[in-house]
Amino acid sequence: MSTRVGFVGLGNIGKPMALRLAAAEGIELTVYDVAPDPVAELEKAGARAADSVAALAGRVVVICVMVRDDDQVRDVLGEVLGVAGDGQTVVIHSTVAPGTPAELADTAARHGVKVLDAPVSGGAMGAADGTLAIMVGGSDEAFSAARPALEAMGSLVTHAGPIGAGTRFKLARNMMHFVSFTAATEAQRLAEAAGLDLVELGKVVRHTDAITGGPGAIMHRATTAPIDPDDFWYGVFSHVTALGEKDLTFAIELADQLDVDVPLAREALDRLGKGLGL
């Protein structure tokens, strides 16, 4: 049997997500957006268009929401609940505040509607080729209802835990993402002061991260607790720390010579071993 799915919010990431749903077997898709052009594109791809969120909600059992912010998510859910039937599941793909999913789930439950928070990682490119990571919080029942749609849009679908867990997962992931970006800007300043080609440096970083896994290469333990010396990871992370402290010391020495401020590098030198559990 087909799963009747609605999609609200056809922006840079929402539109390619919806296009994946339109192309998937076993999905009957209805879409809504305030902008007419992406709706027309989805219609050409086989989706039905709705004139309003309420009209969409009246046709489907799973409603995916990818709008701008918490207020827009609340507005969409309010329209859904005005016509909702028991057993519907609303899937919030927008990245919202940590407390918003539980708040919305409580409100929806009074109308017999289940809510999942399911933010995504992978950007527009991952949305277009169906390789998004989707991090889901909510009940097993709601996850099961939405799973066909989720698996049509992402190649890694993780049921992270109860409502709110998906959002917490995404915030932890993006904290690392943007801290890493900030570290990259620091490295660029150092490289520029040293007379290096920043474009070539970027090529080297992307090349080696694709081989080693980048920051995710250290993320294999199930805990951040201190590591027992007999643990396998003690030897691995001792080696990582020794290399890291050596290279960070040399980089900070170069930064001092070139009068470049590198506060993140200094923090990393102090925190690396402790952070790894040594």
Active site residue 203: no
144-150: long-range contacts (C-beta < 8 A, 24 or more apart)?
145/61, 145/62, 145/87, 145/89, 145/114, 146/62, 146/64, 146/89, 146/91, 146/116, 146/118, 148/3, 148/24, 148/26, 148/27, 149/3, 149/5, 149/21, 149/27, 149/62, 149/64, 149/91, 150/91, 150/118
| Cβ atoms of residues 29 and 21 within 8 Å | yes
d(C-alpha 117, C-alpha 3), whole Å: 19
The residue annotated as part of the active site, out of 15, 44, 114, 170, is 170
| Cβ atoms of residues 24 and 152 within 8 Å | yes
d(C-alpha 157, C-alpha 75), whole Å: 26
Q: Is 25 left (phi over 0), alpha (psi -120 to 50) or beta?
A: beta
| Cβ atoms of residues 166 and 160 within 8 Å | yes
Cβ-proximal residues to 23 (8 Å cutoff; 6+ apart), any chain:
45, 46
- Name the burial class of residue 237, with classes exposed (0-12), middle (13-18) and buried (19+) by CB atoms within 10 angstroms of its CB: buried
| Cβ atoms of residues 67 and 37 within 8 Å | no
Give the catalytic positions in this structure.
170
